[in-house]
Chains A and B, each alone.
Chain A
């Protein structure tokens, strides 16, 4: 089941209950994506890049140190007519929980923040994050002032609600319980399979600015 409204608290499932794979999380999102900006970070960078080659994709990599959602907030405030999706990790989210308060305070109606909750620092080898399995990001987001927060651990439930979520007035927070993966750190080099990791971070930032302000 999901945390559907701002008044319902939904606990994480016991460990023997289903979790989403990374593909089950990202593929439905990629299928519905139109002209939204997508900011990805850490283990989600390459995974998203395998599904999308859009000019409004931005990889906050090689390291964002917990600031991807703040960068997404800035883009959302600058471009209020355009939706901004941020694909964040749980370890990254913990690095800057206070930014949830800032986002809620700014009432960024066009910002949708996803947190992939696999309870590990995946790119450094799946060490447990602090509070692994105990932290309730859904409740934290609501307590910080998000008008909408959701938690999913079932792929069908997630996909069935995604259309509605993507059209809500934000800011919207979605945590998704994922299986641990095995993505290596997202480096930038010419040989990368995902095009948005082939240029420098500066090139990517300046290209996105051009694309958004044509």
Chain B
């Protein structure tokens, strides 16, 4: 189980100052808690692309933001990510909720066909998420339990060591 309390503890351990993003059902509890949190400033955007540019500006200004969006929003904002965090080499973590994770075929297809992306029992954004992250050269780890929160710390270390954005994919609803 992944809990808001432990996730916020991890954010504070990393000295996160701002969360920039858009909620979905799996991150709703986190956004609800952040709205009341006195230590972390929440910026809710109208479209995910904004989150990348705003986070870039926050980092340039000396702050430590993190982005929280759904995988649909990540796909929507591909050029915003490319033009900001990637091109500016900004070490910010992108937390991406994995909509449709449980609908993925096991094993996941290695070569995608039109049928893979149009099956009614499979959420196509889930099928596309990991290939997209790889194509966009964003290192990522998947977490679904509090016991894996250390991966966020490692993602932050890698982002800073390599001066690049990294991603954490959340494959479970945050409680």
CA distance A63 to B87 in the complex (A): 11
Chain A 73-102 near chain B by CB (<8 Å), digits 1 or 0: 111111100000000000000001011011
Residue on B nearest A208 in the bound complex, by CB:
B60
CA distance A181 to B16 in the complex (A): 43
Is A79 touching B61 in the complex (CB atoms < 8 A)? yes
Query: For A74, what are the chain B residues with a Cβ–Cβ distance below 8 Å?
Result: 20, 53-61, 63, 65
Residue on B nearest A213 in the bound complex, by CB:
B62
In whole Å, how far is A192's beta carbon from the nearest beta carbon of chain B? Answer: 17
Is B45 touching A67 in the complex (CB atoms < 8 A)? no
Query: For B52, what are the chain A residues with a Cβ–Cβ distance below 8 Å?
Result: 67
9 new A-B contacts at CB < 8 Å, known A65-B79, A67-B84, A99-B45: A64-B83, A70-B45, A70-B54, A72-B57, A75-B60, A76-B57, A79-B61, A102-B54, A205-B90
The answer, yes or no, to whether B101 is at the interface (CB within 8 Å) is: no
The answer, yes or no, to whether A134 is at the interface (CB within 8 Å) is: no
CA distance A65 to B84 in the complex (A): 10
The answer, yes or no, to whether B165 is at the interface (CB within 8 Å) is: no
Is A70 touching B88 in the complex (CB atoms < 8 A)? no
The answer, yes or no, to whether B80 is at the interface (CB within 8 Å) is: yes
Query: For B49, what are the chain A residues with a Cβ–Cβ distance below 8 Å?
Result: 65-67, 70, 96
Within B57-93, the residues touching A (CB, 8 Å) are: 57-63, 65, 79-80, 83-84, 87-90
In whole Å, how far is A110's beta carbon from the nearest beta carbon of chain B? Answer: 11
Is B43 touching A102 in the complex (CB atoms < 8 A)? yes
In whole Å, how far is A113's beta carbon from the nearest beta carbon of chain B? Answer: 13
Given contacts A67-B83, A201-B88, contact A77 B46 (CB under 8 A): no
Within A129-161, the residues touching B (CB, 8 Å) are: none
Chain B 34-46 near chain A by CB (<8 Å), digits 1 or 0: 0000000101111
Residue on B nearest A205 in the bound complex, by CB:
B88
Interface residue ranges, B against A (CB under 8 Å): 18, 20, 41, 43-47, 49-50, 52-63, 65, 79-80, 83-84, 87-90
User: What is the size category of the interface that chain A forms with chain B?
Assistant: 20 to 34
Interface residue ranges, A against B (CB under 8 Å): 58, 63-68, 70-79, 96, 98-99, 101-102, 105-106, 201-202, 204-206, 208-209, 212-213
In whole Å, how far is B40's beta carbon from the nearest beta carbon of chain A? Answer: 13
In whole Å, how far is A102's beta carbon from the nearest beta carbon of chain B? Answer: 5
CA distance A79 to B63 in the complex (A): 9
CA distance A67 to B88 in the complex (A): 14
- Residue of B47, B54, B59, B62 touching A98 (CB-CB under 8 A): B47
CA distance A78 to B63 in the complex (A): 6
In whole Å, how far is A125's beta carbon from the nearest beta carbon of chain B? Answer: 21
Query: For B57, what are the chain A residues with a Cβ–Cβ distance below 8 Å?
Result: 70-78
In whole Å, how far is B89's beta carbon from the nearest beta carbon of chain A? Answer: 4
CA distance A169 to B58 in the complex (A): 20
Given contacts A74-B55, A78-B60, A78-B62, contact A99 B83 (CB under 8 A): no
Is B87 touching A70 in the complex (CB atoms < 8 A)? no
- Residue of A64, A77, A101, A206 touching B61 (CB-CB under 8 A): A77
Interface centre among B55, B61, B62, B89, by most A CB within 10 Å?
A: B61
The 27 sampled A-B contact pairs (Cβ below 8 Å) are A63-B83, A66-B49, A67-B53, A70-B49, A70-B50, A70-B57, A71-B53, A71-B56, A74-B20, A74-B54, A76-B61, A77-B61, A78-B58, A78-B59, A78-B60, A98-B50, A99-B45, A99-B47, A99-B50, A102-B54, A202-B89, A204-B88, A205-B60, A205-B88, A209-B59, A209-B60, A209-B61
